[in-house]
Structure formats: C-alpha cells, structure tokens
Chain A
C-alpha cells in the first residue's frame, strides 16, 4: 500500500540540452488515482519511467512507500507498468504473458497458476489463455497488459497512456473499467495521458505538467474551478482570454478596462490598481443576447461564425475591440442567432478569473511546447 514521493526530481537528455523533467515535487497518496496530464513532450513519460526505475533521475529523490528507491533496478521496485503499445511479448501466449512476473520471481507453481487464473478471470479473458497477442483486439491486449502488470503482485500501478491506442468508443468503456478495478483492488495508480477529458473522468487528483514542470495539482473540480495559471485555465476545458488593466479596486473586487475601452467587473480582491491582467472566461459560462444592451459585464459585438456541434452550438463573436471570443450554449435551449447579427455577450463576475499578465507574453504562456 505505497505512496510515492518525488522530491526535486530532474532529468535532462542530450547532455543537458533537453530538460525533460525540471525540479518537480509530487506526492501521490496511498490508494490514490493520480493522473499526470499535459501536452505531448512535457515530460510525463519521463516522470513515470523514473518512478519505475527504467531511467534514473539526474537530481532529486524518489520514495515508494517511505523507501528511497533511487538507484534500485525496476525489477526490485514492486511496480506494475502498462505501456502505451502494451508490449505484450509476441513469442508468448496470453497465459505465459500474464504469469511472466510470477515465473521470473520464482513463486511456487500453485501460487503462480492461481494468480494467473484470477487475473485473467478478472479481465474476462481466461478463455483466451492460449491466444497469442497478435490474435487479440486492441481492447483485449490492453486488458492482458493490465492483468500481466497486476499478476506480478504490484501495489503501485503505472500506466503510460494505457488507453491511447484504442478506438474512441472502447477507450470510453475501458476508462471506467480501469478505474473500478484499481479501486476494488485498493491500488495506488499513476496514470499518464494528454487527454484532459480522460483525466477529468478518471482521476482522484490531476497533476498538470508543462515543459517539465508541474503547474498545479488538485482534484478535477479544483483545476476546472480554480485554475492557478492561464495555461491550466486553457488546458482544462477551454477559456477566452481578454487583456486589460485594473482601473478601480473596492471591497467587492475590481474593475478592469479591456482593450478598446470595454469595462468588466471581477470579484478578485487581490489586485492593485494599474496592474496588467488577463481575464479568463469559459465559453460555457457566457450567455448571448440579440442587440447591443447596456448591462453589467455585457460585451457588445457581432456573430462572426456559427457552428452546430451536436449537443452544443458554438458562436465566435467579434467584439467591438476586434478581440474574438467563443461562446458555447446547449443546442436545444433558447433560439439560435444567425451569423452577422449584433449581440451582447454576458458573463457573471464570479464565473471569471483574473491572472497577472505573464511576463513572457500570453501567447508564449499558452503555447503547448
């Protein structure tokens, strides 16, 4: 029943020219399902491989259940690792794959056979014991890989994009199956993905990474409701960003002057007058009305583009100041508004966030790599 601690862990490649993981600290609690989320190339796999012992950090320490494991080879860490392409041994059948861990750990035959059987029954593939990997579908291979990792007796499960190679439908099914399994067995899991929807659906907590750093760790709700960083606000869900200056502060919050003289109210009380800020508003929290209205936090503009997307409709609105914002409304609520019409987009002060304007510039800060 281990927890995992990473302290100041760093890994570079190519003689230090690529900093894959940059001084990160992370605590995965015992029995927790934690997801490492981030755009591709941000260092998720490298982090996972360091926990597994497949590569060693340049700096920093890794603890699994209070034990310092830095320097310990992977076979002595009691972990289960599920690879993106599953890495099922092509020259062994399903049974030999699943019992590989017990075999190389020289467990007694009885125990090996019992566990092999249990694991295969658990993933509902016991009747395919004699099949070789290339005869299985993607979903089946995924389940064999999971059974194999668990059969080795791991209490800590490391999953590197375990659903990444599957079709969308199967991916959806398997993500809940996976979550339930880990729960039932009481394992600790670290799951790597670049798919924020998957991360939100499956995790107890998410650690959001960018360029080798962890930007924020928290429950899916926390990351969605209280992003600490513009990048988080953009990567989890979607956000509109409007630049401006704080022109007034009072005991309820502050007033911001956006580009082109538009005015917005926010409830953030930590801002100073004159500060340069970015206002973030989620598309699904904006409402839209025909015509230009003088209301609190009403932004006048016209509809540049309208898209029907199934459950939702999506408007791209060009504001008076030439900024563009996106508004998403449920498709079956209210009437649709045509392209070219004048509208007012409106948001409530408590559903928007302010960020200090990033020193590197907004575009740089939002870039995926």
Chain B
C-alpha cells in the first residue's frame, strides 16, 4: 500500500516536471508574442497606425510585405501540389532503380541549411558559373519578378524546393497505407487510372494532402534563410521582422509576428479539426453533374493512355532543376572559384583569398561552426530529455491529444516571430534571463527541437504495436517501469534517434530566429547570409558548400538510422 502511494507521488511529480518544462520552454515562447501584443496594444497601435512622424506608413509596409509573403506561399504550395502529387504517387506505387536515392534527395530538401541553399540557387540562376555558363551571362536578374502572379522568381523556386517534400512525404505515406484493393476495384469497374485518382485516391487521401499543404504553406510563410539571400530588392514578412528588430522597431515587428503566428495557428488547427471529423470528405455533387463528368472522363481516359509518363518526367525534372542542380552548381563552383575569380581572373575574388587572405573569413567560419555545433548539441540534448517523457504523457493521458496539437504549433510558426518572442520574453527587454548570445540561441532552438523529437518519436510509436508488447511484458510480471525500460524504450529507439538527428540538423540550419537572438555569437547560416549581403560571393560559396556537405553527412546518418 505504502509503496504504491509513494509510486503515485513520484509519477505525479514527474508529470508535473515534464509539463512545466514543456510549458516554459516550448509553449510560453510560442504564445508570448500574442500576449505581448495584446498587453502593449496602445503602444503598438500608436507606432503602427498613427505614428506622429510617419502616420500609418508602418502599417502600409506590413500590408505590402505580408501580401508578398502570402502570394509567394500560395503560388509555391500550388506548384508543390502540381509536382509533388505525381511524385508521391510515383514513389508510393512503383519500385524502380534509384528510388532510395530519390527519397534521399527529397529528405535533403528538408534538412539542407536554407541560407546555403539560397546561395546555391542564386548562383545557379544569376551567376555566370551556374546555368549562365551556357549563355555567357546570368539567366535572370536576381530581382526578376514573374508577371501576372507578381512573385519574385528566385524566391518562388527556392520556396518550392524547400516545401514540396511536405506534400510528397505526407501523401506518399498515406498512399502506401491505402488499401490497394480500392484502386484495383475501381479499375475493374471500368475507371481509368486518372479517374480512379480523382474519385477514389484523392478523396481518401485528402486529409493527408491538406496537412501536407499546411506544413508546406507554413514553412514557406516563415522561410528566412534562403529568402534573405535571394531577396535582392524584395522583402517578405519574416525578413521584415528580422530587419525591424535590428532597427529596434520592436512594436511594428511584434505586430507583424503576431499576425504570422495567428495565421499559422489558425491554419493548422482548422486542418486538424477538418481531418479529425470522419477522416474523409464528400466531394460536392455539383462537380459531378453528368455533362461535365462525361467530358472529364474522356479526357482522363486519354491521359491514362500512353502519355501518362509525361507527368512523371515533368515532376522528376522539376526536382532535378530546383533541388539537385543548385547543389551540384554550388559544390562545383567552389572548385572554379578556388584560386581565381572566373569572371575577372583576379586572385582577390577567389575562395582562397577570402578565406585565408586579409578578409580572413576562415576564422569566422570556424568560430561559427563551433558555436553552431554547441548550440545544436545542447538544444537537442535538452529537447530530447523533455520530449521523450512528453511522448509518454501524450500517449497515456487524455490531455495528451491537446498537448500534441499545441506542440505542432511551434513547428509551423515562422521562426523569426519565434525568435522575436524569445527575445521579448527572456531577453534584455523582458525577464533579462539571458542576453543575446549562445544561451538565448539554445533556448530559441529548443522551442522547435522539442516538437521535432516528439513528432518523430510518436511516428515510431504509432507504427508499431508497442502497447501490445508492453501488455505482454506486464502479464509476464514486469512492473510498468520495467515494461517501459525493457520494451518501449528499445522499440522507440529508432524514432528517437531520427528525431534527434532531425532536430540537430534543423538547429544547424536555422537562420530566421537565430538572427534575432545571437548577438555576437554568430552561427554558420547567418554568417552565410552576411557574406552574401556583403557580396563576398566566394566566401559565401565556400560556406554554403560546407554547410550542404555537413547536411549530406547528417542525411547519411539519418538514413542509416531510419532504414536499418
């Protein structure tokens, strides 16, 4: 009796400790910006809408930058669907040589440090050593804006490259789960492959498509690192936050951050809500009015014929162009720029000169590397310590579901808003817990590291029958604690490892939030942005290639862990 009540006490204390840590280190920073905006409303209102000096110019800017961001994200997600859906279908249904490699490329897009990737894209499309080598000058001006949709070209393709994996991976997983008999039944009943997709596969995988779409949209909305590098004269909303904070325009910055957090939260919660109910949707009938249906069916029948491989080729080429090409170009360019600038023939424009010559970027890079690794290691370690018991709570208790929803939010909130939130909460103008610098970076990165590890571990948990094995172990005489230690943890190991690696890579590549909280402890991604902005292209090139090589290594590690 006594033992059991003591055990209960320990359990309660543990739950309390875990919940408090999650609350303080993850949820509080995520939502602090909202309460900050509300409590400081009069000040913010004055600054944004009725500024004595500039009137509502700040508000006008917020409107302009947000409009660009939303336009950009919508178009990027639309393109993601266009290429991602056939790709996911292709990956889920076909077995072919090089499939694992293709999947690696898609994962690479998720783990690649974005600022490095931005440099790669910039070079590929505007530089003479990228695609420009074919025609002797850059293909596009960096500031080129696509007409009609009014979206900067470089930003668009960078965002597509960084967000399409969310569509591919969620849809692919769903399709692999989907009973193949549904498709077969539809085919034997006389439907062509395209018709089957529209009437069977699409409605059944709509929840997955929606959540993939929201993730992609949120990532695009918050993307900072690559966007800053390719931005040229354009400004997106998260970039504006970074700039305003550095100009100490905190009120305007927080208002914009507030808007972004609200939008992201509403998006994910509404999709969660929609997909919870029943899991599938009915497509409104008026689409199926017989006349149009007839024509659609004929089109689909035609498309399902011999020409169906066109969509596969198109989406594969898209991946090759937006992801693979820049990576190859940046890695190759380090070689061409190594000892001489290929444009001018001058040594002053070479990688060697900028790294080891008077600019001495090598030292800065090494210092940033050690900061980056230290931050990633500590943030990931603490995050794992908080995340693993959180997973247990999520799976065991009724409030777990809510905890899980809440933990999804930091994953999609634009990181620059997150960084601002942390700065305002713990920084010099808030509780003064930490000054901008390495500790503040760690605290910031923990906000998304905890959810990353939680999601990855849960993915492992739900795939296996851990509950059953745990019960088996209990019936064989193990206490609940024995069962966790001997059964659950070993089985979860892989999901935890995968989460740890993902969190580490994400921390290593994070740019937007880090800019705001790093003070003088520069990590590598912001350093790359600074180099690019200082037009130290060879140095930026080298640092990007270096970052990309690091992420390739981590990807390899990830692969070993996940596919064993």
Contact = CB atoms under 8 A, between A and B. Distances in A.
Interface of A: 49, 52-54, 73-75, 77-81, 83, 85, 87, 89-91, 100-101, 103-106, 109, 148-149, 152, 158
A78 B189 CA distance: 8
A77 B191 CA distance: 11
Given A87-B179, A103-B293, A104-B297, 16 more contacts: A49-B184, A73-B304, A74-B188, A75-B187, A75-B189, A81-B185, A87-B185, A100-B186, A100-B189, A101-B189, A104-B192, A104-B195, A104-B199, A106-B290, A149-B188, A158-B188
A91 B203 contact: yes
Contacts of B195: 104
Contact of B188 (A80, A85, A90, A109): A80
B181 interface: yes
Contacts of A80: 188-189
Interface centre among B189, B192, B200, B203 (most CB of A within 10 A): B189
Contacts of A54: 184, 187-188
Interface in B250-298: 280-282, 288, 290, 293-294, 297-298
Contacts of B204: 89-91
Interface in B390-426: none
User: Lowest 4 CB-CB distances: which A-B pairs, in order?
Assistant: A87-B181, A81-B188, A104-B191, A101-B189
A105 to B, nearest CB: 5
Nearest to B297: A106
B182 interface: yes
Contact of A73 (B185, B192, B203): B192
Given A83-B181, A89-B182, A89-B185, A101 B190 contact: yes
B186 A104 contact: yes
Nearest to A152: B189
A145 to B, nearest CB: 8
B189 A104 contact: yes
Contact of B184 (A78, A81, A106, A148): A81
Interface in B292-346: 293-294, 297-298, 304
5 contacts: A52-B184, A53-B188, A89-B182, A89-B204, A104-B199
Contacts of B190: 75, 78, 101, 104-105, 152
Nearest to A84: B181
A73 B187 contact: yes
A267 to B, nearest CB: 48
Nearest to A104: B191
A322 B293 CA distance: 73
Contacts of B186: 89, 100, 104
Nearest to A52: B188
Q: Which of B182, B187, B193 has the most CB of A within 10 A?
A: B187
A83 B280 contact: no
A91 B293 CA distance: 19
B181 to A, nearest CB: 4
Contacts of B179: 85, 87
Interface string B137-178: 000000000000000000000000000000000000000000
Given A54-B184, A109-B290, A149 B280 contact: no
Interface of B: 179, 181-182, 184-193, 195, 199-200, 203-204, 280-282, 288, 290, 293-294, 297-298, 304
Given A106-B294, A109-B290, A91 B281 contact: yes
Contact of A75 (B182, B191, B200): B191
A122 to B, nearest CB: 17
Contacts, number: 82
Contacts of A75: 187-192
Contacts of B200: 89
Name the residue in A89, A91, A149 with the highest tally of chain B Cβ atoms < 10 Å from its Cβ: A91
Nearest to A90: B280
Contacts of B184: 49, 52, 54, 74, 81, 83, 87
Contacts of A109: 290
A194 B444 CA distance: 61
A74 B297 contact: no
A363 B186 CA distance: 43
Contacts of A101: 189-190
B441 to A, nearest CB: 47
A365 B376 CA distance: 63
Contacts of A73: 187, 192-193, 304
A101 B203 CA distance: 17
A338 B234 CA distance: 98
A89 B290 CA distance: 21
A91 B282 contact: yes
Contact of B185 (A53, A83, A91, A105): A83
A79 B294 contact: no
Nearest to B290: A109
B181 A148 contact: no
A66 B347 CA distance: 78
A109 B290 CA distance: 8
B182 A74 contact: no
A235 B399 CA distance: 56
A264 to B, nearest CB: 50
Contacts of B181: 83, 85, 87
B275 to A, nearest CB: 13
A15 B541 CA distance: 45
Q: Which of A80, A81, A148 has the most CB of B within 10 A?
A: A81
Nearest to B192: A75
B279 to A, nearest CB: 9
A100 B189 CA distance: 7
Contacts of A103: 288, 293
Contacts of B192: 73, 75, 104
B283 to A, nearest CB: 9
B95 to A, nearest CB: 10
B462 to A, nearest CB: 20
A71 to B, nearest CB: 12
A110 to B, nearest CB: 11
A52 B185 CA distance: 10
Nearest to A148: B189
A74 B293 contact: no
Contacts of B297: 104, 106
Nearest to B305: A73
Nearest to A78: B190
A341 to B, nearest CB: 45
Query: Taking each of B184, B193, B281, B282, which has the highest tally of chain A beta carbons within 10 Å of its own beta carbon?
Result: B184
A245 B281 CA distance: 70
B188 A79 contact: yes
Nearest to A98: B189
Nearest to B193: A73
A149 B189 contact: yes
